[in-house]
Structure 1
Amino acid sequence: MHFDQFFIVLSFFLRPLSVLYGFVTDVRNISYDKNWQRSQVPQQKIISVGNLTVGGTGKTPMVEYLLAYFAGRRPAGTIATLSRGYGRLTKGFRIATEADTAETIGDEPLQVYRKFGREVCITVGEKRVAALARLAVLRPAIDLVILDDAYQHRPVRPHLSVLLMDFNRPFYLDHPFPAGRLRERRHGARRADMIVVTKCPDDLPVTKQEAIVRHIRQYSRAGTPVFFAGLTYQTPNAFSEQNTGPMPPRVILVTGIAQAGPLEAYVKAQYTMLRHERFGDHHRYSRADLDRIIADLSGDVALLTTEKDQVKLAALFTEEEQQRLPLFYLPIGVKFLSGDDEFGKILDRTMN
């Protein structure tokens, strides 16, 4: 039996558990909607970024887009991010510093810190309400916090809730866990203040966009704005600034992300991909993972990875190896197909 057929059959038998899981999440959501459990409204303005599905909708690129947008419009020292810090070995609230690693704050917060740490306060904390209160004491000038992966975190009431949906995995065709990948039932989309369809192809026809919006409207609030965005793949960067040469034409792709399909397709289209060494999301790399890859690197074969993986992989190479070996990572960003001005206006209204 083909894997896809097996998954369909398995999903059918798991459907009763999905109904139960959906019921439990419904009860939880109703308890907050009816104020039986209370959501806290922090003193900072809160923008929540999240999704209905498990993993891989492009939350980190969207967080970085928001940070870049606000960093160019607000004074330094007034913006922060807060995430759980998946994959870290520490507990509790932490403010990122130069001494931190992926093991102390997580790979994605470390990636964001490397880009925005001079302008933005990057924090982690699994208890968001307590973390926000602590942040208000330690950094009282901060009045805007981007909450990463917080769509289901009902104890905090955001001022703006941004729901992401992967173009390749629409929530309106999915089911709650374990038969599907949804963290809650589809109508959870009605809490969103705006919805961004991510990872869209650049040439997505308007008719297709309109069809997607109609499907989304079955579950969202009436009038909720829907935007379409794709990923921009930039020029690969070397691990070491001393390595100034171009990337070799043949690559071994190394990833530890939730949904590597679009990236793999891009790499295959742009380069000669010899193979894809694929690890689980937030994988904690060891030197043993890399030794057999290093053996295959040469003047015309490079290791190519993601920004998220680079912050962990770099720690396993010596400075000499980073200068000598062809080690590269591929930066990505968010590009709206249209409507980016309207998106910005909504962000501005939130702050005003």
Structure 2
Amino acid sequence: MKFLRFILFPIVPFYYVITWFRNVLFDKGWLASKSYDFPIICVGNLSTGGTGKTPMVEYLIRLLKDDVKLATLSRGYGRQSKGFQLGGANTNASILGDEPFQFYNSFSEDITVAVDANRQEGIANLLQLTNKPEVILLDDAFQHRKVKAGFNILLSTYDNRYTKDFVLPTGNLREPKSGAKRANLIIITKCPENLAEADKQKIITEIKPLANQQVFFSWISYSDNVYSENKTIALDQLGEDFKLVTGIANAKPLVSFLKLKNLKFEHLNFKDHHDFLSSEVEYLSKYKCIITTEKDYMRLKTEVSLQGKLFYLPIKMVIDNSSKFDTIIKTYALN
């Protein structure tokens, strides 16, 4: 894969120019971008994935759900349905996609969860609801320039910051680094929990934020327990006979966390948003205990052969200087 990316390097300038010129057309108003008269917060990245968008959206849901009528709007990547779909009692990961279904599964009593590849149409449909939202969270929509969100949050991982990356196909960037200027907040995610202030300042200098931008740092907090629909097991009670199954962009932090707990396990790693085949489910059913991410759990929990042996490990995003971050978000969303 690395070799293929290397030999494709001559394509990089063409991809760069195309995506750069597209942004120029939107910036100049030559391509239409629709604005709205109510708060819309966009969460996204410049890279191809694995920056922590889902825990960031969940952080925002917890922050805002008690104060406003809130909705999430996602593309619904990997779903089998088409067009606009709302989370409801009969929906599942194949209808909403795994991440939106995770939002619905966790917060259905507090928010509206919707998916639509066309974000303008998705917003229009949400506004037709009897209980229409007062604030919309756009999930993974930083490059969806046809909607002009009032507030943009850009995520970039500590180990693979956009400032040190290239555009596709050699690098992981969906657009040039200059796209970061559209962000109101830049969050460096998946940091070491005790990142030194000197290291933070070094990264901020590297990013060179604009006068209207602020940089925050965050890390992932893992639960001490794994969960199924009706059972909870402490991590230190798992023993050595379990299979770790992941279908996410970057499983390394999770693997490292479990190894630091001195847990012994086999790891079966799939591509992001993997749609598990019946043969793969049959193989997994031979194990007594299967640990997976909450996102993967949304795709696997209906498999009868895995019930009673499938568990997920919840995570939360922790933001350094969270009181300042929370104030910024609430000032925008509630005023």
Q: Please give the range of the TM-score, normalised by the shorter of the 2 chains.
A: over 0.9
**Alpha carbons 2:227, 2:313 under 8 Å: kept:** no
**Alpha carbons 2:187, 2:218 under 8 Å: kept:** yes
1:40 is aligned to 34
1:202 is aligned to 193
- Which range moves more in the overlay, 250-259 or 132-141? 132-141
The letter of the residue matching 1:308 is: K
> Would you say 1:18 and 2:7 are equivalent positions?
no
1:339 is aligned to 321
2:25 is aligned to 31
> Would you say 1:249 and 2:239 are equivalent positions?
yes
**Could you give the per-residue CA deviations for residues 282-340 of structure 1, whole angstroms, max 9, x where no partner exists?**
1111332133333242xxxx21100001111111125xx523x3x3210000111x221
Q: Distance in 1 between matches of 2:120 and 2:229?
A: 39
**Alpha carbons 2:226, 2:233 under 8 Å: kept:** no
> Would you say 1:100 and 2:91 are equivalent positions?
yes
**Could you give the per-residue CA deviations for residues 200-245 of structure 1, whole angstroms, max 9, x where no partner exists?**
111111111111111111xx4234100000000013333231x355
Note the 1:288-299 alignment, pairs <5 A.
288-297=279-288
The letter of the residue matching 1:309 is: D
Structure 1 residues without counterparts, runs of 5 or longer: 1-5
**Shift in Å at residue 280 of structure 1?**
1.0
2:72 is aligned to 81
Note the 1:189-268 alignment, pairs <5 A.
189-217=180-208, 220-241=209-230, 243-244=231-232, 246=234, 247-250=237-240, 251-268=242-259
2:46 is aligned to 52
Aligned pairs, number: 331
**Alpha carbons 1:46, 1:158 under 8 Å: kept:** yes
Identity %: 36
> Would you say 1:123 and 2:114 are equivalent positions?
yes
Name the TM-score, length of structure 1 as normaliser.
0.90
**Alpha carbons 1:42, 1:133 under 8 Å: kept:** no
**Alpha carbons 2:226, 2:291 under 8 Å: kept:** no
The letter of the residue matching 2:311 is: F
**Alpha carbons 1:230, 1:334 under 8 Å: kept:** yes
**Could you give the per-residue CA deviations for residues 85-141 of structure 1, whole angstroms, max 9, x where no partner exists?**
001011101111011111111000001101111110000000000110111112453
The letter of the residue matching 2:314 is: P
**Shift in Å at residue 172 of structure 1?**
0.8
- Taking structure 1 as reference, are residues 139 and 52 closer, same or farther at Cα in structure 2, changes over 3 Å only? farther
**Alpha carbons 1:254, 1:304 under 8 Å: kept:** yes
Note the 1:162-173 alignment, pairs <5 A.
162-173=153-164
Name the TM-score, length of structure 2 as normaliser.
0.94
- Taking structure 1 as reference, are residues 98 and 33 closer, same or farther at Cα in structure 2, changes over 3 Å only? same
Counterpart of 1:283 (choices 274, 280, 285) is: 274
Q: Distance in 1 between matches of 2:5 and 2:258?
A: 31
1:329 is aligned to 312
- Taking structure 1 as reference, are residues 245 and 65 closer, same or farther at Cα in structure 2, changes over 3 Å only? closer
Q: Distance in 1 between matches of 2:130 and 2:119?
A: 16
2:300 is aligned to 313
Note the 1:116-155 alignment, pairs <5 A.
116-139=107-130, 141-155=132-146
**Shift in Å at residue 69 of structure 1?**
0.1
**Alpha carbons 1:87, 1:106 under 8 Å: kept:** yes
**Alpha carbons 1:249, 1:271 under 8 Å: kept:** no
The letter of the residue matching 2:218 is: A
**Alpha carbons 1:191, 1:221 under 8 Å: kept:** no
The letter of the residue matching 1:229 is: S
- Taking structure 1 as reference, are residues 207 and 37 closer, same or farther at Cα in structure 2, changes over 3 Å only? same
The letter of the residue matching 2:307 is: Q
Q: 2:21 aligns to what SS in structure 1? A: helix
The letter of the residue matching 1:240 is: E
Q: Distance in 1 between matches of 2:232 and 2:12?
A: 52
Structure 2 residues without counterparts, runs of 5 or longer: none
> Would you say 1:187 and 2:178 are equivalent positions?
yes
**Alpha carbons 1:253, 1:273 under 8 Å: kept:** no
- Which range moves more in the overlay, 248-257 or 159-168? 248-257
Q: 1:232 aligns to what SS in structure 2? A: strand
CA RMSD of aligned residues (A): 1.6
